[in-house]
């Protein structure tokens, strides 16, 4: 059986971590590639790596390079939290999967859909911030946009606390 590329949109929020844990518990299986897609806003970065990869996103960054206290990710303007790294390190060991990060800059709606097509991903799992109807109309829902525009199956993990 061919390896699957399972994407998880990660923003290091509580609902993003919940979606990641759900993906690890319910979707990811031995031999899969777990690709954590994170999108940083434009302009929120230090000079250097981001400029080199702005158009295409970062190269795929192996988990082993991100387990250095997050210094590798910081070079790309991303601040990973220890809990997210713990979830993926545990999954990598227990399920014998390959974990990589892919970083984009810009509008999360567009960049997540771009990641689906360019990597390419077999499916993507993402959290829902649980915006109310009014905020969702004003701000737009990233998960709603991805569900309606993605070229692969999308699973939205709701945060039941909101």
pLDDT of residue 74: 79
Cβ neighbours of residue 43 closer than 8 Å, sequence gap 6 or more = none
Task: Give the pTM.
Answer: 0.87
Q: Domain limits of the chain?
A: 15-158
Q: Which tens digit of pLDDT belongs to each residue from 38-67?
A: 998 765 455 555 566 777 888 999 998 887
The candidate with the shortest Cα–Cα distance to 123, out of 157, 89, 94, is 157
Lowest mean pLDDT: which of 91-95, 128-132, 144-148, 150-154?
128-132
Q: How does DSSP classify residue 35?
A: E
Q: pLDDT above 70 covers what percent of the chain?
A: 81
Q: Which tens digit of pLDDT belongs to each residue from 134-161?
A: 555 554 588 889 999 999 999 999 876 5
pLDDT of residue 132: 59
Cβ neighbours of residue 7 closer than 8 Å, sequence gap 6 or more = 35, 36, 37, 115, 116, 119, 121, 123, 124, 125
Regarding the domain with residue range 15-158, which homologous superfamily does it belong to in the CATH classification? HUPs (3.40.50.620)
* Average pLDDT taken over every residue of the chain: 85
């Amino acid at each position: 059986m061919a390896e699957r590329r399972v994407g998880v949109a990660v923003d290091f929020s509580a609902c993003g971590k919940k979606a990641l844990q759900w993906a690890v518990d319910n979707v990811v299986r031995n031999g899969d590639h777990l690709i954590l897609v994170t999108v940083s806003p434009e302009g929120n970065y230090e000079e250097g790596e981001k400029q080199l990869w702005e158009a295409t996103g970062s190269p795929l960054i192996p988990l082993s390079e991100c387990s250095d206290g997050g210094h590798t990710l910081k070079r790309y303007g991303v601040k990973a939290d220890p809990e997210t790294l713990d979830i993926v390190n545990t999954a990598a060991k227990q399920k014998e999967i390959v974990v990589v990060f892919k970083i984009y800059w810009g509008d999360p709606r567009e960049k997540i859909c771009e990641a689906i097509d360019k990597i390419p991903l077999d499916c993507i799992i993402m959290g829902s911030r649980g915006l109310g109807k009014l905020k969702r109309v004003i701000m737009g829902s990233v998960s709603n946009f991805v569900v309606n525009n993605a070229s692969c199956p999308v699973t939205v993990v709701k945060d039941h606390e909101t």
